[in-house]
Amino acid sequence: MRDPDTAADKHDLPRHATARQDSRNWSRRQALASLTSAGTLALAGCSLRSALSSVQPLWERDFSSATAASPPSATDEHVLVGGQDKRLHGFTADGERILTVETGGPIEARPAVPSSGGPAHVHSTDGDLYTVGLSGERLWHVEGQTQNGWFGRHGSLLVGIDPVDGVVTGYDARDGTRRFQRSGRGYPLPTLSDSACIFPVTNSDDDTRLITLAPATGEVLWESPPRNGYPYVVAAGDRIVTVRNSTVRMHRVGDGDVLWRTVVDGDVTGHFDPPVWLGEHVYVRIRRDDRSDELVAIERDGGTIRWRRTVGYELETVTATSQGVFVASSVDDPDGGILIRLDAFDLDGTRWWQTTTDISIGGIVGALGRSGEILFTASDNELAAYDPATGSRRWRYDPESSRIGVTTADGALYISYRDRGGVARLPTS
């Protein structure tokens, strides 16, 4: 579930350089740096180091008694942020405070919210799940003992994971009625869609099968046979895409039938997020140890490979729209460090533009998305906006915070100041 207005996601996990210390090494990065930088300067008229521009938030709210904040979550009209002060803070899109709710401990995880309206859900480090209305009233509450539990919401389904006991529980988000509860070894974060709740479950032999549940009832729709290799999963509507051992499969959500399978040439693996995205096509990341990564576009209906394009030396994330696809990857800064590179493609694979930003990253790309009239990308501590048609930079925001969280909903862009406590809305033009 990758909508930033839903639940805690895998980008909330600690970002360490170890995430990229696999078959990649510095000699490869250094060799590719000159190539990617040279290509950047030749495209779109964008320089490697352009003059810094700045922007002011539309509004900004500090949490006076909090020294840290969670990543933000947003609906179409509200933004919610947890605080180290043990409170859930809520604001309208115009910055008016609508709620302050006390919990039993600091709130470090991203709140889980629907795309519109309420209620909202938050997990505190006291182990409990709190559900509140957008007027600040407590609606229902589940006691727990897991400090680092996870909750995610899609539609009326709220899913919670106890990583210590390995228990997965589905609730009716409105009244807390338990829809299902399952226990087992190695439940990771689920994939949620309108039609399915999907878990890859690994057994004692390290074989993994997919268990697909109906969101409304928890009924098992289907299970795949156990196979070697970990399956990456994305879902939308009545379709599920899995990637395992370089084979991409399109499944029908109701019964798991494989509609098509396509073998891609290369290594398809992920760090925290699946290396596959759904848009007008199915987009897959191909890792290359000896050269830059590739983005492969596969026809959604038939499984035919439509095109493949090189990007930076390590493809990090993709934002797919009905008009085109935007890619964030990492490249070496000739002056030292790692920078974010952006590529934009038409649906037929035509490269619109390419630019290397001046945003330095220490781990992985913090965010990439479309909001209003801009394309934005972020590191752990800074964010910049670009013209999606040309790749020219609109503005850059360097907050007085060493760590930020980002979310967007209904054309609004929000950030939280994770190391000092606060939230702001940024322009989207």
Tens digits of residue pLDDT in 359-375: 988 767 889 999 999 99
More confident residue, 190 or 99: 99
More confident residue, 23 or 276: 276
Block residue for tokens 């320089």: 47
Q: Is the pLDDT assigned to residue 5 strictly greater than 60?
A: no
Residue type, 199: F
Strand partners, 395: 385
Q: Is the pLDDT assigned to residue 7 strictly greater than 90?
A: no
**Given pLDDT bands bounded at 50, 70 and 90, which one contains residue 19?**
very low
Block residue for tokens 């972020």: 378
What 3-state class would DSSP assign to 116?
Answer: coil
For residue 51, what pLDDT is reported? 43
Q: Is the pLDDT assigned to residue 200 strictly greater than 50?
A: yes
Residue type, 363: G
* Rounded CA separation 115/228 (Å): 36
* Rounded CA separation 226/80 (Å): 40
**Given pLDDT bands bounded at 50, 70 and 90, which one contains residue 6?**
very low
pLDDT tens readout for residues 313-334: 899 999 999 999 999 999 999 8
* Rounded CA separation 110/172 (Å): 19
For residue 187, what pLDDT is reported? 56
Out of 125-139, 186-200, 385-399, 415-429, least confident range: 186-200
Residue type, 184: G
Going by the DSSP 8-state scheme, the letter that residue 69 receives in this structure is B
For residue 368, what pLDDT is reported? 96
For residue 273, what pLDDT is reported? 64
More confident residue, 229 or 380: 380
More confident residue, 400 or 256: 256
Mean pLDDT of 335-343: 94
Q: Is the pLDDT assigned to residue 190 strictly greater than 80?
A: yes
Q: Is the pLDDT assigned to residue 28 strictly greater than 90?
A: no
Block residue for tokens 């919401």: 153
Three-class secondary structure assignment of 359-408? EECCCCCCEEEEECCEEEEECCCCEEEECCCCCCEEEEECCCCCCEEEEE
For residue 271, what pLDDT is reported? 52
Out of 48-52, 108-112, 118-122, least confident range: 48-52
* Rounded CA separation 318/296 (Å): 11
pLDDT tens readout for residues 279-304: 999 999 998 878 899 999 999 999 99
* Rounded CA separation 285/129 (Å): 36
pLDDT tens readout for residues 68-78: 999 999 999 99
